[in-house]
Chain A
């Protein structure tokens, strides 16, 4: 005899307990500390901060622990926490040109004022599993310090802008207060500041694939990595009653300026255009992919024909948020049996019609 399934509440409670158990794993293995995650899983922490839109390494590390290493789950936790935070105001725009640099490279020039600074990078490592790390890697050799103070250097693109070879970002936009996609519903077409904000919290994998597609001919933009810089920037806030800005902290950021060829138009002579990418912490892949997609999305503004997915603002920006995407994809796990029942009835009805039709046709043929 069928009895309506009761006990959803107990099932949920028990699922939560099982989850907690699984998260901890074997208790004979020491519990992972938030400090360990923050210090040794830094790039994961940085991605959670970027896509979670909160600069708080401790919080991101804790979210990663709670999420059992699932990036999107951790990003979701951070986002949900972020919504509850009070807002005191907006900082002044951070001056990435005055960044205290850890790493800074330009693929466009052999040498630039301030120099090429490799910094901590996987780039020239051989990707061989280091089994020493599994044994007890011990402490790494100390790096040779090139310079005691973290260097500062002007943006590479500023050097070209003087000659008019590369566009300068419109000053008018700098004055406008930036949009806030977490406080106002998005509308298309989006202004560039709002668009950059969407891309900055957009999914790294999604933007990577889209950026990659532009390199393979879907809206080719002829990119050069004009400059990638990683380092610490000062965050300044100007309280209304004070009248001058005060530094309230420092953030580590990664910035990418792509340089892209531009044929020019009726009003603008040929020059290089920019694609811009930025991430909290150290996130070069994200910043580069974002810069490629940003440039691609400027097709309309630059009078280029829109033919590829990466140029389609609604397509890119409506689908780049992984918290939204995962929620909607995974909601398919929720019961849909009312809708399925409706479809089941419909398919049965249509099959009956087809069978009747076949039977009728067969009868006619026999006669």
Chain B
């Protein structure tokens, strides 16, 4: 790959990381794809962004990015959130790749906390930023223990936790980072996406890659892999639902953000996926908020 010289005179390898590091990460990625849902340790590098701000996802993206890729970066479903802007700018600067806000037109989407509403298609790659890759971490803080539990497929603790939720609240009280079982083997943390997005991971046509920079783990879900949200026969998995449609585009089947409008606490609900919402509005869909404004 060529070396890019920047406006400020600094020189970086294409997509910032040196080729040796990229190879190391790609090897970890191949292993991750071969064993879906298994957390592969990798020698994560110190990036020029803070840990916890997407360094895992950024390293994965940097390792697989090609000059003709079209990159989309979202945070909370939106392209214009500050950290999404910052990461997109980073790759524009160090890789010079084309970027887009359109889910459909992107070859590579890096995301934090959401999966786009529009179904992804074959050939696309979704890269997740992951803070705590270990789904068992809050039940067992020790890595030495959790690795053993995965190796032995000893997941009783997780089922007990979910069962205790039901005993106490009558339902499972986990709303995001809701644990899934991948390819009928490993329990996996879907990253802190809302459980609303879990069904989109199942048999998804796109390749899903997960990078945890601080914890130095990579894992993957290859296309068309079974991803099942944990549940019980008498308490099946359910996703969130809203009483209102999106105020702007009228969508009734998307994840909605609640926006506080004034000091009196007036609320409105809008799609968290900004591309989905604007596309629908361009197609002529209208929500109750738009109609009221007219």
Interface residues of A (CB under 8 A from B): 1-2, 4-9, 11-12, 76, 79-80, 82-84, 182-189, 314, 318, 323-324, 326-331, 334-339, 341-346, 350, 353
Contact = CB atoms under 8 A, between A and B. Distances in A.
A191 to B, nearest CB: 15
Interface string B127-151: 0000100000000011110000000
B9 interface: no
B175 interface: yes
B50 A4 contact: no
18 contacts: A2-B248, A4-B78, A11-B82, A12-B86, A76-B50, A80-B46, A183-B43, A185-B43, A188-B143, A314-B141, A323-B46, A327-B51, A327-B55, A329-B52, A330-B52, A339-B113, A341-B257, A342-B240
A71 B48 CA distance: 16
B261 A2 contact: yes
Contacts of A353: 169-170
B144 A342 contact: no
Given A12-B82, A345-B240, A2 B270 contact: yes
A180 to B, nearest CB: 9
B97 to A, nearest CB: 17
A104 to B, nearest CB: 34
A330 B131 CA distance: 12
B89 A334 contact: no
Interface string B108-142: 00001110000000000000000100000000011
Interface of B: 18, 41-48, 50-53, 55, 75-78, 80-86, 89, 112-114, 131, 141-144, 169-170, 173, 175-177, 192-196, 214, 216, 240, 242, 247-248, 255-259, 261, 268, 270, 272, 274, 277-278, 289, 293
B75 A334 contact: yes
A20 B52 CA distance: 24
Given A187-B41, A188-B143, A338-B194, A8 B46 contact: no
Given A338-B114, A345-B240, A2 B46 contact: no
Contacts of B192: 336, 339
A330 B50 CA distance: 9
Given A185-B42, A345-B175, 19 more contacts: A1-B289, A2-B289, A4-B274, A4-B277, A12-B82, A76-B50, A80-B46, A80-B47, A186-B216, A326-B51, A327-B53, A328-B131, A335-B76, A336-B113, A338-B76, A338-B77, A338-B257, A341-B272, A342-B196
